[in-house]
Amino acid sequence: MHIVNARLRTAPGLHSIFCQNGRIHRIIAQSEPLAAQPGTLDASSNLVIPPLVEPHIHLDAVATAGQPEWNRSGTLFEGIERWGQRKATITHQDTKARAHAGIRMLAEHGIQQVRTHVDVTDPTLAALKALLEVRDEARSLIDLQIVAFPQEGIESFEGGRALMERALDMGADVVGGIPHFENTREQGVSSVHFLMDQAERRGLKVDVHCDETDDPHSRFLEVLAEQARVRGMGAMVTASHTTAMGSYDNAYCSKLMRLLKAANLSFVSCPTESIHLQGRFDTFPKRRGVTRVAELDRAGLNVCFGQDSLQDPWYPLGNGNILRILDAGLHICHMMGYDDLRRCLDLVTDHSARALGLGEGYGLVEGRPASFVILEAASDYEAVRTQAKALWSVRNGEVIMQRAPQQVQLLPGR
């Protein structure tokens, strides 16, 4: 495969990209635009970037909004109740069909790397069994990491520890947790120690739903960060949501930031879902309910954006387009200055890849997999401003998705 007239995020001008045996062989600067030849792919001066990444989604819950009831309060906790109702009725094929539908939505928008959280607080582990099959079946479209996610707790749910161990034995890739949902603070702390023990012993990554609440007294992030620091596991640990940080006072956050830097863990914010679920106990003023994304980023910590949900009890919308989340997140997190806008794709590409630990398996670099996306834009700024579509998605040197450029024509006299 040979791509011409490619615009890169990291270098001015146009470039040609040569691929061999599923890998990027050479990237060469062009002195002028080149005419497309048979067998070449013309990027037409559009951005060529590594694949978009979805670092946090729940594929086992896709397309379950309103089944059997809608989340009428809009709260996180009613969402968990409604999911509990739906979870009792899931089947193997139902879960697989919905997960595959979600993956197709993601792939249509240029996403090739996905981390999904799968509920393992179910004695049958039905959703996990289904997603383990989906992980293999969807390899032509995406690489899927599965988090063993204890939706109803590790310590507070009967048999929670044993279920987590079973899930990891079955092949889950990442150890999850939800310490703020445990019945007591002591149980929350204990759950963090347990999940970190499991990850360290098995050599697995960690991704914890952490402090997903407006409660400023929910401070399990410090527990997770300290465990990551003392074990030397920061590069393998992700704290998802951490919305309580948006309610912490600045004096505490100043101390916390020192620990977070020392721990060097990653963060995922799901801004559209957080602004929807949080602030529900406020009258006015209403808090945004989103973690301190800009502050984490400017402190040099790795932070990225995720979608979280596609039409489920927690969030009734969603279409798989991560640039929609990027747009909203930049607004919500006060990151609309040009310095943020000109590098905003980091939040849905490189930063997300780092959180997933993709290493040399990701990136527009010679010798790495020939996997990339052509966006209908010339820069990060234009990509988010216009909500640029992915025109081509190439995976290991093979085209897996193609979209015709958008054409709009105003009628004469209008």
Residues 258 and 328 in one domain: yes
Residue 408 lies in a domain: no
The whole-number pLDDT of residue 123 equals: 96
In the three-class reduction of DSSP (H, G, I as helix; E, B as strand; rest coil), residue 206 is classed as strand
The answer to whether the beta carbons of residues 279 and 214 sit under 8 Å apart is yes
Shared-domain flag, residues 145 and 120: yes
- C-alpha to C-alpha distances, 231 to 176, 234, 259, 268, 283, nearest whole angstrom: 17, 8, 14, 21, 42
86 to 91, 94, 152, 282: CA distances (angstroms): 10, 11, 14, 28
Cβ neighbourhood burial of 15 (10 Å; 0-12, 13-18, 19+): buried
Residue 124 lies in a domain: yes
**Cα-based angle 59, 152, 214 (whole degrees, multiple of 5):** 90
The answer to whether 356 and 54 are in contact (CB under 8 A) is no
Q: Is residue 407 part of a domain?
A: no
> What's the pLDDT at 405?
87
* Residue 329 shares a structural domain with residue 371: no
Whether 56 and 315 have beta carbons less than 8 Å apart is answered as no
- The predicted pLDDT at position 344 comes to 99
Residues 28, 168: one domain? Answer: no
| 164: in domain | yes
User: For residue 281, what are the CA distances in angstroms to 70, 287, 329?
Assistant: 19, 10, 22
Active site residues: 212
Residue-level pLDDT at 349: 99
Question: Shortest CA distance to 242 belongs to which of 224, 263, 264, 262?
Answer: 224
Q: Does residue 411 lie within any of the structural domains?
A: no
412 assigned to some structural domain? no
220 and 314 within one domain: yes
The first and second tokens of residue 104, run together, are 């197709």
Question: What is the three-class DSSP state of 251?
Answer: helix
141 and 228 together in one domain: yes
Task: Supply the pLDDT for residue 39.
Answer: 87
Tens of pLDDT, residue by residue, the chain (414 residues): 999 999 999 999 999 999 999 999 999 999 999 998 998 999 999 999 999 999 999 999 999 999 999 999 999 989 999 999 998 999 999 999 999 999 999 999 999 999 999 999 999 999 999 999 999 999 999 999 999 999 999 999 999 999 999 999 999 999 999 999 999 999 999 999 999 999 999 999 999 999 999 999 999 999 999 999 999 999 999 999 999 999 999 999 999 999 999 999 999 999 999 999 999 999 999 999 999 999 999 999 999 999 999 999 999 999 999 999 999 999 999 999 999 999 999 999 999 999 999 999 999 999 999 999 999 999 999 999 999 999 999 999 999 999 998 888 899 986
DSSP 180-199: GGSSSHHHHHHHHHHHHHHH
CATH assignment of the domain containing 34: 2.30.40.10
Look at residue 170 and tell me if it is in a domain. Answer: yes
Whether residues 301 and 386 share a domain: the answer is no
Same domain, 265 and 276: yes
Give residue 242's pLDDT: 99
Residues 381, 348 share a domain: no
**Residue 296: phi, psi to the nearest 5?**
-65, -45
Query: CB-based burial of residue 126 (10 Å sphere; 0-12 exposed, 13-18 middle, 19+ buried)?
Result: middle
Range of the domain at 378: 2-50+364-402
In whole angstroms, give the CA distance from residue 50 to residue 212.
Answer: 30
Number of domains within the chain: 2
Q: Are residues 101 and 150 in the same domain?
A: yes
pLDDT for 114 equals 99
Task: Report d(CA 348, CA 153) in Å as an integer.
Answer: 29
pLDDT of residue 407: 86
| 151 and 11 co-located in one domain | no
Peptide bond into 50 cis (omega under 30): no
The reply to whether 279 falls in a domain is yes
pTM above 0.95, yes or no: yes
E strand or H helix at 399: strand 398-402
Looking at the fold, whether 346 and 380 belong to one and the same domain comes out as no
